[in-house]
Amino acid sequence: MKIVFMGTPVFSLSCLEALIAAGHEVAAVFTQPDKPKNRGKQIQMTPVKECALKHDIPVYQPLSLRKGEDAEQSMAVLRDISPECIVVVAYGQLLPKEVLELPKYGCVNVHASLLPMYRGAAPIQRCIQFGEKKTGVTTMYMAEGLDTGDMILKDELDIPEDMTGSELHDKLAEMGGRLIVRTLDEIAAGTAPRIPQQGDTCYAARIMKEELLLDFTKPAVQVRDFIRAMSASPCAYTMLDGKRLKVYGARLAEGSFTEQPGEIADPDSFTVVCGEGAVSFTEIQPEGGKRMDVQAYLRGKKPAKGTVLG
């Protein structure tokens, strides 16, 4: 099938590589513009652009598909290619109606949740944050609403209690690659279902920097789940002695506690009291230091009992 692929981050790569390996003709790739990253602010290509160039696929990086000269030029390119399907995986832009209606088989999206639950920008982290035990990947025909189109196929995955957001990201990315190939096979064969989204839904809002500061007034299970949801990126943190302390892992602490939320009840295990119960940090990164096991950190600098974080 002749395809245009639209995607930007690492999550998109499995789908693009799976489509190439399956023999689909990827006529062009659309990805977000390159941006400066890290302390050096050097311009870096998006992961999808790097992959496309490796396979000699033409790359387009419009600022917008909805307005301006970039949108007009992009529409001209798409009309010239005349793809049978546009596959969209974490592209980062909303598609206008004229793009959605251009391909013979429409635009197909790969979304990292079991729709209609967790529509939106951050379904992987949010489902762990809110204690879900199961998630998955859904393919759908794209509509003008946000993640509201008719569903095609789903693949489910259990979420172990110790799984982090990064681990779940990698699992779902692999599943997405397999699922988009199955989806296009069924579309080409005329056997693909079209299932309207019905029932309960929720929105997985984009993760904002200001929410990454840990709130120890919440129950310990919620604090633990938030830490693992944001690990390893963008990573939750707290403040210790006026410096940022990133927290990559935590477990629920046993026992009863009378200290105030945020107070270190046991320095030997870095146990911090929450609104209900407590958590013990297992992996952290002090400001200006390396990511490390908490016991390695405590051998060098142990906080005083009664210290309040945050």
Residues 87-115 have a mean pLDDT of 97
Cα separation, 236 vs 213, whole angstroms: 6
Per-residue pLDDT, 190: 98
Write out pLDDT tens, residues 168-213: 999 999 999 999 999 999 999 999 999 999 999 999 999 999 999 9
pLDDT at 75 over 90: yes
Per-residue pLDDT, 42: 87
Per-residue pLDDT, 41: 75
Quick one: which of 225, 217, 36, 6 has its CA closest to 108?
6
305 part of a folded domain: no
Domain finish residue from 204, 233, 251: 204
pLDDT at 36 over 90: no
Identify whether residues 198 and 223 lie together within a single domain. Answer: no
Identify whether residues 199 and 220 lie together within a single domain. Answer: no
Cα separation, 65 vs 218, whole angstroms: 41
Domain finish residue from 204, 230, 251: 204
Identify whether residues 135 and 243 lie together within a single domain. Answer: no
Per-residue pLDDT, 37: 79
Identify whether residues 291 and 146 lie together within a single domain. Answer: no
Range of the domain at 262: 209-300
Per-residue pLDDT, 156: 98
249 part of a folded domain: yes
In the chain, the number of structural domains is 2
Residue-wise DSSP of 24-77: -EEEEEE-PPPEEETTTTEEE--HHHHHHHHTT--EE--S-SSSHHHHHHHHHH
Task: Indicate the pLDDT class of residue 38, thresholds 50, 70 and 90.
Answer: confident
Per-residue pLDDT, 145: 86
Per-residue pLDDT, 301: 87
Identify whether residues 232 and 188 lie together within a single domain. Answer: no
Identify whether residues 146 and 256 lie together within a single domain. Answer: no
Write out pLDDT tens, residues 130-162: 999 999 999 999 999 889 999 999 999 999 999
Q: With left for phi above 0 and alpha for psi between -120 and 50, is residue 125 left, alpha or beta? A: alpha
Q: What average pLDDT does the chain have?
A: 97
Write out pLDDT tens, residues 227-283: 999 999 999 999 999 999 999 999 999 999 999 999 999 999 999 999 999 999 999
Identify whether residues 289 and 143 lie together within a single domain. Answer: no
DSSP bridge partners of 280: 251, 271
Residues 93-99 have a mean pLDDT of 95
Supply 80's token pair: 């010239």
Residue-wise DSSP of 74-126: HHHHHHHH--SEEEEES-SSPPPHHHHTSSTT-EEEEESSSTTTTEES-HHHH
Whichever domain contains 133, its CATH number is 3.40.50.170
How much of the chain exceeds pLDDT 70, in percent? 99
pLDDT at 40 over 80: no
Angle at 167 between CA 219 and CA 297, to 5 degrees: 65
Per-residue pLDDT, 249: 98
Interior/surface letters 203-239, b for 16+ CB within 10 angstroms, e for the rest: ebeebeeeebebbbebebebbbbbbbbbbbebbbbbe
Domain finish residue from 154, 183, 204: 204
Neighbours of 185 (CB within 10 A): 14
Identify whether residues 273 and 126 lie together within a single domain. Answer: no
Per-residue pLDDT, 168: 98
35 vs 282, more confident: 282
Task: Please report which helix (H) or strand (E) contains residue 266, including its range.
Answer: strand 264-266
Identify whether residues 108 and 168 lie together within a single domain. Answer: yes
Whichever domain contains 275, its CATH number is 3.10.25.10
306 part of a folded domain: no
310 part of a folded domain: no
279 part of a folded domain: yes
